[in-house]
């Protein structure tokens, strides 16, 4: 302690202190901050591979440097999350023009997707791919999730995520089979028609609550077959087909003469 006390008036002391403070802050941040997995571990080699993949598969529409063309938006600043969402759900690369990009079998494996994501993330800061903890439904509060989902999401995706129609042939997809990671990414990046729900609007914890609510819905309905969870129209259809169908069938049997 004496030595330290003696040297605190050293000329270099402020610099050393500053360096120490920076080191501590950085360390704490590294421990506490949500670790954007891909971005963190992305090596220059990944970015290079990603760039090649980009130029081969995406540049036709998004431009050679992802700056965007008249056909497709710029990808500068969309972040790794957007790439991972679009590519891992098979929406990108797009195969044909339509009202909106469709979900289809993915065309790039996980490594390729990660490389592509690393490349796009290197073009400008954007939302990172969430960690497993950020999307773990077991850690979420489904009741709060229900509240948030109802206000922010249900008008397009239906009350329990069965999907719904938008204008001009577009639609909000059903969320039954969407992975937790993709749900999170869709919220932060706002793919296609979907608006962006950034962390100020719906905090990361709240996003996890929403995921918890959606995962809970996958248990189905307590009342029996959920009939698509589409509401009164499908219920009415079943009332006619099954209910009235069976009962009129019985009436025909009652009215028929016994042989």
Residues in region 115-154 near other proteins by CB under 8 A: 142-143, 145-148, 150-152, 154
Window of 6-14, 39-47, 60-68, 240-248 that interacts with other proteins by CB under 8 A: 240-248
Q: Which is nearer to other proteins, 105 or 223 (CB)?
A: 223
Kindly state whether residue 213 participates in binding other proteins, applying the rule CB under 8 A. yes
Sorted by sequence, the CB contacts under 8 Å of residue 185 that are 6+ apart come out as: 81, 82, 84, 85, 127, 129, 130
Footprint on residues 163-202 left by other proteins (CB under 8 A) = 163-172, 190, 192-198, 200-201
Beta carbon of residue 7, minimum distance to other proteins (angstroms, whole number): 44
Which own/partner pairs from 105-109 qualify as long-range (CB within 8 Å, at least 24 positions apart)? 107/57, 108/53, 108/57
Determine the Cα–Cα distance for residues 79 and 64; give it in Å rounded to an integer: 17
Window of 31-39, 42-50, 56-64, 250-258 that interacts with other proteins by CB under 8 A: 250-258
Is residue 175 a contact partner of residue 157, using CB atoms and an 8 Å limit?
yes
Kindly state whether residue 224 participates in binding other proteins, applying the rule CB under 8 A. yes
Kindly state whether residue 88 participates in binding other proteins, applying the rule CB under 8 A. no
Please state the length of the chain: 259
Q: How many CB atoms lie within 10 A of CB 101?
A: 18
Footprint on residues 93-112 left by other proteins (CB under 8 A) = 99
């Amino acid at each position: 302690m004496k030595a330290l006390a003696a040297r605190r008036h050293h000329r270099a002391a402020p610099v050393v202190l500053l360096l120490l403070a920076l080191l501590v802050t950085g360390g704490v941040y590294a421990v506490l901050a949500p670790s954007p997995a891909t971005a963190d571990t992305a090596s220059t080699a990944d970015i290079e591979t990603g760039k090649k993949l980009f130029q081969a598969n995406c540049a036709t529409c998004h431009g050679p440097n992802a700056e965007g063309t008249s056909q497709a938006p710029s990808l500068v600043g969309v972040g790794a999350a957007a790439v991972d969402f679009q590519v891992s759900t098979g929406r990108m690369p797009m195969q044909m023009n339509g009202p909106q990009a469709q979900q289809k079998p993915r065309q790039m494996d996980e490594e390729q997707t990660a490389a592509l994501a690393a490349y796009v993330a290197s073009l400008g800061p954007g939302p990172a791919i969430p960690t497993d903890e950020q999307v773990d439904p077991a850690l979420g509060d489904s009741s709060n999730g229900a509240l948030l989902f109802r206000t922010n999401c249900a008008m397009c995706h239906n009350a329990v995520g069965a999907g719904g129609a938008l204008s001009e042939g577009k639609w909000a997809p059903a969320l039954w089979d969407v992975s937790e990671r993709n749900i999170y990414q869709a919220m932060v990046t706002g793919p296609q028609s979907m608006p962006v729900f950034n962390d100020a609007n719906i905090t990361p914890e709240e996003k996890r609550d929403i995921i918890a609510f959606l995962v809970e819905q996958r248990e189905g309905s307590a009342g029996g077959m959920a009939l698509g969870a589409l509401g009164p129209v499908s219920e009415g259809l079943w009332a006619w087909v099954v209910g009235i169908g069976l009962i009129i069938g019985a009436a025909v049997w009652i009215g028929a003469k016994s042989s």
